Structures are given as structure tokens and as C-alpha cells.
Amino acid sequence: MKKLMIALIATAAVAGTAQAQTNAGRGYVGASAVTAKNSTVDANKADAKLFAGYQFDERLGVEAGWTNHHKTDFANGAVRGNTEGYGTYVAAKYTMPVNEQVSAYGKLGISHNERKLNTNVGNFKQDDTSGYAGIGVEYKLNQNTALVAEYERYGKTKDFGARANVWSAGLKYGF
């Protein structure tokens, strides 16, 4: 009887551990190519985004990211210069599975953005901390890897440099 009780307790412990592992959260990291129209030169430019997050369960998570807006040179008559900047964010993330491979998601949070305009006439800096929102779709390639595509809004409209609206496509790795 004692051996049977030990076997039952051990089986329950193993089953409980296996169940906990399937419901446990997962961290992830990723990188994307982003494009945002530059309002100073009226052109789109490809840049980079890095992000990391944690999914508490299948639907709820949190994510933080950094988007670089590399230096863009311009000339407008006698005025010559460049713009550069970045955007960061922290957001809550809600995911809706469509099927086993495809999920749609939305993000809502706060962003901090900085833009610099350096010209032969003078230098200007603009930064803001305001709302952040994003929507996207994820396609799972396997258990750990997924393709992601997003539209994001980094706060207020920008007077110069990269605009607040950003499109991105990239790769996410879960662990």
C-alpha cells in the first residue's frame, strides 16, 4: 500500500509539472526592418527595430522595443543638414489566435521619442513621451520562431525627421 501511495504521489507530481510547463509564460526577442516616412525629405527609409517581451499566457503579454531612425541627409536650396532619431516603447499586448499558425495582436502603451535636426542654419531637438499603439499579425514557422508584421504609432506627430507612423516586418524567437 505504501509503494502504491508513493507511486500515485510521484505520478501526480510529474503530471502537475507537465501541466505547469504548458501553461507557463514564455519570453521572446525579435528584430524587424522598419520604414517610416521622413517628413523633412519626404521619403521612406528602412531602419531597424529590436524588441523583447513576455507572454504570460496565450493571450496576455508585455513588450518593450527600440526603433532606430538612422541619419538621413538632405539639401534644400542653401540649407543642408540631416535628421536622426529613435523611438522606444513599453506596451501591454493582447493576442487573438486565428488558427494554430496565425495570430493577430494589438499593443497599447507608452513611448519616448527623440528627433534631431542638424543644419548649417542651426540645430534643433524634439522629444516627447506619449501614447503608443500597434496592431500586427504573427505567423508561426515552428514552436519557437515566427514572422511578424506590424503597424505602430509612436506618440505625437513629429515636426521633422521620421514620422510617428511605422510599418515593420521581422522575425521573433521564443524561449
Per-residue model confidence as pLDDT tens digits over 100-142: 999 999 999 999 999 899 999 899 998 989 999 999 999 999 9
Record the cell numbers describing residue 116, joined without a space.
534631431
What is the rounded end-to-end Cα distance, in angstroms, of the chain? Answer: 42
- The predicted model scores a pTM of 0.80
CA dist 82 and 75 (Å) reads: 8
